[in-house]
A and B are shown apart, each in its own frame.
Chain A
Amino acid sequence: MTTPLLQVRGLKIGATVYPPGEKPHDIEIVHGVDFDVEAGKVLGLIGESGAGKSTIGLASMAYGRGGVELTGGEVMVNGRDVLQSNLRDIRKLRGAEVTYVSQSAAASFNPAKRIMEQVIEAAVLQGKFSKSDAEDRARALFDKLGLPDPDHIGNRYPHQVSGGQLQRCMTALALCPEPDLVVFDEPTTALDVTTQIDVLKAIKDAIRDTGVAALYITHDLAVVAQVADHIMVLRQGEMVEYGTTDQIINAPQEEYTQALVSVRSITHEEKQPTEPVLRVENITARYAGTKFDVLHNVSVDLSPGQTLAVVGESGSGKSTLARVITGLLPPRDGAITFAGRTLSPDQPSRSLEDLRELQMIYQMADTAMNPRQTVGTIIGRPLEFYFGLKGKEKQQRIQELLDEIELGEGFQDRYPAELSGGQKQRVCIARALAAKPKLIICDEVTSALDPLVADGILKLLLNLQRVEDVAYLFITHDLATVRAIADSIAVMYQGRVQRYGTKSEVLTPPFDDYTDLLLSSVPEMKLGWLEEVIAHRKMESAGN
């Protein structure tokens, strides 16, 4: 048996924390993890945020981010323990034997330098290739990764290519010095589903063709199932389960893994449209100071107590539609009718009643709550503001709302920083509910959350809809969420409503091209899904 390329034994990682009011002390964030990666194989590291995925990934390059320290264990790369190596040897390792692909290519490329210069930098610096050889190699990699015009794309600056292309350029950067191991840290998380699929395919092919080993870090099990040979499930710095991809997906042993696999198993009975509470008619809008419309003739209806999902990739105008409805961006043309009244186009001139009945929940619960206000103040303010509740009455209502969002007692005096991501989002939901609205606009409310937490939030929203009879305008790019909760769907593309109707209408063929592309791009939790989709697309384009 050959020695594995990367062998990790009992890896412990610690960090120093600075809690307020206490003395700084050390905590352990990874408690002894073991795994192997053999040459040419891909290991998927999966877990929710804070599980230690990225920290472990970086540890294989003997690197600890910020105050993180590698405190114990062994990390053997090609038979050498890199934790014991001196800095000079580690420098030889990084960028030559082990390379790294980060989540945000846009933030990782130097905007002032051409792509080619950056792609070949490590390979040339490490003395692996001469400059012209490295450039040839980079061009070959651009070609392999499916980038357009591979001979010249390297001459562009990072802002001159799209997000998905830049992510592929970064993969080329990592593969250029012919490394033995590449660490992919959430390489497709920041991309739209339609783009993600191309990048995923490119990465998978590149890994196969170059025979490089890889650590693939992600929180999306469906994605990692497409590229990995083995999967390790992590939780709070500890290994939960380790096995082949097939075993993890099809026969998970641990309860936590089972929960991850069966996530989004919410079923929701579709309701038929009735007299709408919100009617958006022929809205055309543009931002001040620009010369093009971001919304063209958008018309949708939303029935009381139902959910309208607005889906589309980034830049499709989903959030702009929300801004128009809330009155933050007065439209150039068109009208909005809400609860039988015509809404004034700009927010400051709307009546208190209109404002109260139309609430909003944001994507980032962190920035949606004032960090200097307690949960009690945050939820209490709408009660005080709209209903004039005071003192004991207010306290009682706050507690009722906290019970409704399943938080219970003892949360009133906490500050947002003392809550977890899911709890924060729940408080935001309570704040919206406090106004007793008829409609809540949910702008990507689950996309910043871990799958299991997001699942809990969706279930909560559905329950509340049943109890409070509130309608949701649900903006999302995640089609799995849409399938789970929507009654009707509007698919948006480049500021237009591409397809609109009840859920069953929209999700039943025949599809238009864009809807088909969007629907087929959602990763499914089964092996070989990626190949199926690619084959399906090839067939389609051959047929056309």
Chain B
Amino acid sequence: MLKNIPLSAAIGLIITGTYFLAAIFAGVIAPYGMAETVGDVWEPSSAAHWLGTDQIGRDLLTRMIYGGQTTIFIATAATILSFTTGAVLGFIAAVSGGWVDQLMSRLVDLFMSIPSLILALVILSSIEATVVTLIVIMGLLDSTRVYRLARAVAVDITVMDYVEAARLRGEKLKWIIFREILPNALSPLVAEMGLRFIFMVLFISTLSFLGIGVQPPLADWGGIVKENKEGINFGIGAALYPAVAIATLSISVNLIADWILTRTTSLKGGRG
């Protein structure tokens, strides 16, 4: 299976893999402690500090590695949460139809009519921003988007004869959703997942940049930009490293999603 990987997907896999490995083994590979002050303010890069130091003299590479860990963890968890809720609810709406579908869809419309950043700001101003609350809030807000996609895909599938055949057999909702619909809806959902993961990275970074996301001294990429943004005035690029990290991670994850999409659709008997 690993023989026929196209170049683009290989690049995507390598970059994403590096980021995830760095995130997982942050404690092992980071050269210094996360909140340890080890040098002067905004030192340029040197052998001791590859990316230099930040605005209070912490090693920037260490901050980036720990920041990546937080950002990637929160984004991954929130994506999983949003996909499970969104997809299951979307499928239920499509299979049930009628007033169940109406009620759920209108409710989702209601949530989607409020810009999610503002909604998140409102919620986070009233409750404490911990890693768990961030994941739950981001996951649920984003699940409205997944719901729409899952419902649209599933509505097409529920009218197929094989779903009718399953219903006539007397199958329960669970079988219809997980055995008849899910396998056929997987490829558009996987493609969307790559995209959604990136939106999550951007979302958490935005929240942290605004100061209501991940709280210091915990590091995350959005927070590093915020902490170091003053440096740009003095020609110090510390704030740009997280930007580069976010951009490369986005692109590489999408390269993988594209590859999975073509692979799953060309499976024998896959959706054309």
Contact = CB atoms under 8 A, between A and B. Distances in A.
Interface of A: 18, 20, 326, 328, 347, 350, 352, 355-356, 359-360, 362, 364, 367-373, 381-382, 385, 415-418, 431, 435
A20 B168 contact: no
Which one of B160, B165, B167, B168 has the highest number of Cβ atoms from chain A below 10 Å of its Cβ? B165
Given A355-B168, A381-B169, A362 B271 contact: no
Nearest to A366: B161
Interface string B118-160: 0000000000000000000000000000000000000000001
Given A369-B162, A370-B162, A360 B268 contact: no
A417 B267 CA distance: 10
Contacts of A373: 179, 183
B153 to A, nearest CB: 14
A415 B271 CA distance: 13
B168 A415 contact: no
28 contacts: A18-B266, A20-B268, A326-B168, A328-B167, A347-B168, A352-B170, A355-B168, A355-B169, A356-B170, A359-B168, A362-B161, A362-B165, A364-B161, A367-B161, A367-B162, A369-B162, A371-B269, A371-B271, A372-B184, A373-B183, A381-B169, A382-B169, A385-B169, A415-B269, A416-B269, A417-B268, A417-B270, A418-B268
Interface in B233-272: 266-271
B227 interface: no
A271 B226 CA distance: 86
B267 A20 contact: yes
Contacts of B271: 371
A416 B271 CA distance: 12
B168 A370 contact: no
Contact of A368 (B162, B169, B269, B270): B162
B170 A355 contact: yes
A328 B180 CA distance: 19
Given A355-B169, A381-B169, A385-B169, A370 B184 contact: yes
B180 A360 contact: no
Given A364-B161, A367-B160, A372 B269 contact: yes
Contacts of B40: none
Nearest to B162: A370
A370 B183 contact: yes
Contacts of B168: 326, 328, 347, 355, 359-360
Interface in B154-211: 160-162, 164-165, 167-171, 179-180, 183-184
A106 to B, nearest CB: 20
Contacts of B162: 367-370
Contacts of B269: 371-372, 415-418
A104 B180 CA distance: 32
A385 B161 contact: no
A355 B166 CA distance: 11
B157 to A, nearest CB: 9
Chain B interface extent, by class: 20 to 34
Contacts of A381: 169
**Does more than half of chain B's interface fall in helix, strand or loop, or is it mixed?**
helix
A370 B169 CA distance: 14
Given A362-B161, A381-B169, A20 B183 contact: no
A370 B164 CA distance: 11
Given A368-B161, A382-B169, A431-B165, 20 more contacts: A18-B266, A20-B266, A20-B268, A326-B168, A328-B167, A328-B168, A352-B170, A359-B168, A360-B165, A362-B161, A364-B161, A367-B160, A368-B162, A370-B162, A370-B179, A371-B269, A371-B270, A372-B184, A385-B169, A385-B170
A347 B164 CA distance: 11
B268 A415 contact: yes
Nearest to B157: A370
A437 B14 CA distance: 55
Which one of B160, B161, B180, B183 has the highest number of Cβ atoms from chain A below 10 Å of its Cβ? B161
A20 B263 CA distance: 9
A131 B268 CA distance: 52
Contacts of A372: 183-184, 269-270
Contacts of B170: 350, 352, 355-356, 385
Contacts of B270: 371-372, 417
A371 B157 CA distance: 11
A368 B180 CA distance: 11
A372 B268 CA distance: 8
Which one of B162, B167, B271 has the highest number of Cβ atoms from chain A below 10 Å of its Cβ? B162
A350 B167 CA distance: 12
A347 B167 contact: yes
A373 B161 CA distance: 14
Contacts of A355: 168-170
Contacts of B164: 328
Nearest to A416: B269
A251 B253 CA distance: 66
Which one of B164, B266, B270 has the highest number of Cβ atoms from chain A below 10 Å of its Cβ? B164
A370 B271 CA distance: 10
B180 A385 contact: no
Which one of A326, A360, A372, A415 has the highest number of Cβ atoms from chain B below 10 Å of its Cβ? A372
The 10 closest A-B pairs by CB, nearest first: A417-B269, A372-B183, A415-B269, A371-B269, A368-B161, A355-B170, A367-B161, A370-B162, A362-B161, A415-B268
Nearest to B167: A347
Contacts of A362: 161, 165
A359 B168 CA distance: 8
Contacts of B183: 370, 372-373
Which one of B160, B180, B184, B266 has the highest number of Cβ atoms from chain A below 10 Å of its Cβ? B160
A359 to B, nearest CB: 8
Which one of A355, A371, A418 has the highest number of Cβ atoms from chain B below 10 Å of its Cβ? A371
A382 B161 CA distance: 16
A19 to B, nearest CB: 9
Contacts of B169: 355, 381-382, 385, 435
A200 to B, nearest CB: 31
A368 B160 CA distance: 7
Nearest to A365: B161
A370 B270 CA distance: 10
A77 B52 CA distance: 78
B187 to A, nearest CB: 10
Given A355-B170, A364-B161, A370 B180 contact: yes
A360 B167 CA distance: 11
A326 B164 CA distance: 11
Contacts of A385: 169-171
A80 to B, nearest CB: 38
Nearest to A434: B169
B264 to A, nearest CB: 10
A458 B165 CA distance: 21
Nearest to B171: A385
Contacts of B161: 362, 364, 367-368
A18 B180 CA distance: 26
A425 to B, nearest CB: 12
A540 B167 CA distance: 49
A367 B161 CA distance: 5
Contacts of B171: 385
A112 to B, nearest CB: 25
A413 to B, nearest CB: 11
